[in-house]
Amino acid sequence: MEGLDSLFMSDQTTHQPVRSVSLPSRIHPLSVKLRAALNRLSIWRRSSSSISVSPYFGYETLLVGLVNLAEFYGCVHELLESSYVKHTLLHRQEGKLLADSLDGSVVLLDVCESTREVIVVMREHVANLKSALRRKGSVVDKEAKTYVNFQKKAKKQISKHINALKKMETKDISTNIYQDSAIASTSVLRETIDITVSIFRHLLLFLSAIPPAKKTRNTVGFLSIPFVSSSLLDKSLDMRKEMKNLDDVFLGSFGFEVEPMQNEKMRRDVVEDGFRDLEAELDSVSKCLVKNRVLFLNILSNC
């Protein structure tokens, strides 16, 4: 029997055979959901690996990654409520994976919350800019200086989080859900960490506006990304252009031309809505991470 199906069957039976010689075993519904969620994230990761990890990585693609991540955590939560999985995590390698996952959950939750706060402040700066452009005068200079100071602090914070995530990266992870049930359950847990780290890293690099090491055509706008429509790709490109223009506007007080952007201030809504979308999805993922940590603590407290 395939690894995950055997895992779920192990949780439902005690001394009964887990497989009939003559009849195929029924696939557990959670096994199907978990495979589907893993498949979507695998597609996302393959797509993202062929795009430069840079500010040009599409924000809409990041949204898709965050949505899929939240759905995946929902399946993992069901998995962690299985008595068989609880027993496996407590006793496999003397509970080392469980302890590591618990420690990692603190880092991931901190990165998630901190990133969401950065996005909230960025969105506020966009709103303040729109207001400043209407009023004109010295208020634009004030908003420019406020933003520049915030950007410097945010980049330091983002750099710190990227380094923290890098320390969590694992090597040679292979989520083979067709292996035996014990290996399948621990493999899924490792993959959960690895996928979360990958998505958060892409998001942080997107927000930090770090230019790519070298220009490549494998960036959003040139390379079609699975399950993201061309219209969304266009919106993603607009988001990136608008973030660059936003910097140009704020820096207008230091010698750049501000006037052209006053004629395009309605396009600020693209940026503001984009930040709001990212904020909402990060909030969902944050709740998933909190529940994940609670489940880990429950397993340890009941051992």
Q: Which residue has the higher pLDDT, 203 or 211?
A: 203
The answer to whether 199 and 45 are in contact (CB under 8 A) is no
Cα 156 to Cα 29, 149, 208: the distances in Å are 44, 11, 9
What's the mean pLDDT in 77-97?
A: 83
- Mean pLDDT, residues 113-117: 96
Mean pLDDT of 56-67: 80
More confident residue, 302 or 38: 38
Instruction: Name the pLDDT band for 261 (thresholds 50, 70, 90).
Output: very low
Does 61 have pLDDT greater than 80? yes
Alpha helices, H only, 50-95? 59-80, 83-91
Instruction: Say what the alpha-carbon torsion angle 37, 39, 43, 49 is, to the nearest 10 degrees.
Output: 90
Predicted confidence at residue 271, as pLDDT, reads: 67
End-to-end CA separation in angstroms for the chain: 28
d(CA 129, CA 249): 8
Q: Report pLDDT for 46.
A: 82
Cα 132-136-137 angle, rounded to 5 deg: 115
The stretch 260-276 carries a mean pLDDT of 60
Confidence class of residue 254 from pLDDT cuts 50, 70 and 90?
very low
How would residue 201 be classed by pLDDT, with cut points 50, 70 and 90? Answer: very high
CB count, 10 Å around CB of 166?
Answer: 10
CA distance 113 to 90: 29
State residue 262's pLDDT score.
47
